[in-house]
Structure 1
Amino acid sequence: MSDVEHRVRDLLRRHAAEAPAGATLLTTVRTESRRRARRTRAVVAAAVAVLAGIGVTVPLRLAAGPGTVTVAEPSALTEPSGPVTVTFPLSPAPVDGVVAAPDVRLEAGLPTLSLPMPGGGTATLTVRPTRPAGPVTTPVPVRGVQGFLAGTADAIVWQEGPEQWFELRADPAVPADHLAGFAKSLVATPVTAPAPFTFAVVPAGYAVDNISPGAVTFCPPDLPFDASFVGKITVMLGVTAERSTGRPVDVAGHPGTLTGPQDGYVVLQVDLGDGRLLVVQSAASVPLPEPDLLRFAAGITVTPAATPGRG
């Protein structure tokens, strides 16, 4: 055995001889553990008191394990970065001093403008950051630039800026020169649609991909934008005749009912007291916790621009 090993053996024997035996050792350990736990709690309490005194919120809670402190789970809601609305970069020119009111929406994340065409039918114009997918064929002059027939020659596309491609089509379809003539009548004056709802808080990490007078959809980050409500959180306006039975809840003083999950959704309906319902439909695949769902609904204001829709 080496000199080092002899020293280690002698040291262990000496401490073993000096240590309390049996129950005395266990009692000593327990007493010391309680003393240290009391000292830790006192230090934490003093720190929290100091921070509270200078107006600092401490988002901490005691976990199930004794003596462990963890950060509380964040809310699923956040303040919106701005109004939940949509603006289109072109608008109809005045006719006899009167400007027609276009229907401006957000569809699958893209601003769209719809307007009656002279002689009948509806023109729908979409703006996007890149050229629309699909083949383009015959060149067509549009608004002073070179455009093209697209799809099955029932639409024209053209570019007016680095990330500003327009696609125009009519229903029923009309000849390309009629579409180009309609496009020429538009002016470069942005038009913003009145917001159907305002929001005090919104689902954190979600993006709005559809806005219409009847509904606003919040799309989770892992879902591609589309024009549907599937897999999203949708806010709609309904009527009390459509109210479903469910568990009663209170939403900022208004009576509400909560149903589901059923058919893949949890649905909150809030009686606004004037024959209308505020409806929040939350996909079960991306659920808001119930407290956040109620808080989200409580922060929604229905504006005069909203009209009843259907999910």
Structure 2
Amino acid sequence: MISDEDVEERLREALRLHAAEAPPGGAMLAGVAAESARRGHRGRLATLSAGAAALVAIGAAVPFALRGPDPAPAPAVVGQQPAASAPVPVTALVPAAVPASVIFPYSPPSAAGYGTPMVMLSAGRPTLVQRLPTGAGATLTLYDARPPAPTSKASAVPATVHGQPATVYSWHWSDDDPQNPDPGTQRTLVWPAAPTAWLSLTVQGEPAPADLTGYAERLRPGALKAPAPFTFGLMPAGWTVDNISAAAVTFCPPGVGPDPTFVNKIAVQLDDSPGTEPKYSDGSATSVQVGTRRAWLVTSSEGQVLQVPTDGGRSLLLQIGPKALLPLDVLLPFAASIGVTPAAEVSRG
């Protein structure tokens, strides 16, 4: 049997690994809504996972965004500015603070009918997504404090999980956004997993409160790890990492808070094209050198896309939002420091 002390230590480990600052829940919901509006434009600014992002975004207290070291007092790197949008602040590169894996400290049910759990960092939070025997998707999110209600109009009823007080919220996507299509009542269970950690469980559809508490009580201590898709030698100073999945890692510049989207960030992905020609034609394409490889940088009013050929006839794709533009002599060394791991999956965004 695993002792309470062991459980607490695993929770602390997960929270330490993924700890930092983040926005309130309303800001995250607004980010998801804004991203939904953008997705029709060739999917260039896509969420990490359409279903997972929508479920993960509902409970937002303080995500554990991963912040890189602040810049040293030494002079920053000065270089050529990209042609898109406003002038880019001078930025330095520092050793990367990106974990090799994402840790979730609980194991979900594994009986027949349950899907394989998927662990990720979403909006700065350790998150687990699993398909239930009913076909609905369940999303578990780890917090270091009690999360607020999913929306301003959510109703709450008391419940218990292993005898501990819990809350079941009923809410609608349109509560705080009348323009958001409303598929019906959503339900979220929130309860304390340990003195220093809370869990939030959201299940698609309109599950009965007993279904939520029943699933919660089937969780067992036992850390699950998901390896990151990329390694990073360098990252821009003062930026944060807020999303890590098998298909993408996103970096937020100062002033852009963690959320499940790619908006105004640098999103690093693996693409199934070889990268010998520009993937996109709706901008100005320039040939650049990234390490030993010839790459393509396409600049448009939406930002930039840097495509770097890699092994296996595929390419690294860096989607760069308007607020995430970097000088070329910062961007190119950053891209050159990225390696692809066996865990990487080709992005479908």
TM-score using structure 1 length: 0.69
Q: CA deviation at 1:203?
A: 1.5
Alignment of 1:10-89 (within 5 A): 72-74=75-77, 76-81=92-97, 83-89=99-105
1:243 correspondence with 2:293: no
1:139 correspondence with 2:142: no
Alignment of 1:255-294 (within 5 A): 255-260=294-299, 262-294=300-332
Residue type of the partner of 2:209? A
Distance 1:268 1:303 in 2: 19
- Range with greater deviation from structure 2 (243-252 or 139-148): 243-252
Q: CA deviation at 1:232?
A: 1.2
What secondary structure is seen at the aligned counterpart in 1 of 2:193?
A: strand
Compared CA separation, residues 116 and 180, structure 1 to 2 (3 A): same
Q: CA deviation at 1:84?
A: 4.9
What secondary structure is seen at the aligned counterpart in 2 of 1:180?
A: helix
Rg: which structure is higher? Answer: 1
Distance 1:87 1:136 in 2: 31
Distance 1:198 1:191 in 2: 20
Distance 1:125 1:227 in 2: 15
Distance 1:110 1:222 in 2: 18
Alpha-carbon RMSD across the aligned residues, in angstroms, is 2.4
Which of 130, 140, 143 aligns to 1:128? It is 143
What secondary structure is seen at the aligned counterpart in 1 of 2:342?
A: coil
Give the match for residue 254 of structure 1. Answer: 293
Q: CA deviation at 1:279?
A: 0.8
Q: CA deviation at 1:163?
A: 3.5
Q: CA deviation at 1:258?
A: 0.9
1:210 correspondence with 2:243: yes
Alignment of 1:291-306 (within 5 A): 291-306=329-344
Structure scoring higher RCO (CA < 8 A, sep ≥ 6) equals: 2
Distance 1:296 1:184 in 2: 44
Stretches (4+) displaced over 6 A: none
Assess if the C-alpha contact under 8 Å between 1:235 and 1:281 holds in 2.
Answer: yes
- Range with greater deviation from structure 2 (128-137 or 143-152): 128-137
Give the match for residue 170 of structure 2. Answer: 151
Assess if the C-alpha contact under 8 Å between 2:252 and 2:324 holds in 1.
Answer: no
Which sections of structure 1, spanning at least 5 residues, go unmatched?
Answer: 1-70
Residue type of the partner of 1:102? P
Give the match for residue 198 of structure 1. Answer: 231
Distance 1:192 1:118 in 2: 23
Compared CA separation, residues 306 and 132, structure 1 to 2 (3 A): same
TM-score using structure 2 length: 0.62
Assess if the C-alpha contact under 8 Å between 2:121 and 2:244 holds in 1.
Answer: yes
Compared CA separation, residues 151 and 109, structure 1 to 2 (3 A): farther
Residue type of the partner of 1:300? I
Assess if the C-alpha contact under 8 Å between 2:103 and 2:226 holds in 1.
Answer: yes
Assess if the C-alpha contact under 8 Å between 1:136 and 1:148 holds in 2.
Answer: no
Give the match for residue 33 of structure 1. Answer: none
The aligned length equals: 238
Which of 106, 109, 116 aligns to 1:90? It is 106
Alignment of 1:154-173 (within 5 A): 154-173=187-206
Residue type of the partner of 1:292? V
Identity across aligned pairs (percent)? 38
Q: CA deviation at 1:310?
A: 5.0
Distance 2:348 2:136 in 1: 25
1:110 correspondence with 2:110: no
Q: CA deviation at 1:201?
A: 0.9
Distance 1:186 1:158 in 2: 13
What secondary structure is seen at the aligned counterpart in 1 of 2:267?
A: strand
Q: CA deviation at 1:208?
A: 0.6
Distance 1:238 1:168 in 2: 32
Distance 1:182 1:78 in 2: 43
Which sections of structure 2, spanning at least 5 residues, go unmatched?
Answer: 1-73, 78-90, 172-185
Structure showing the higher helix proportion among its residues: 1
Assess if the C-alpha contact under 8 Å between 2:288 and 2:294 holds in 1.
Answer: yes
Q: CA deviation at 1:220?
A: 1.7
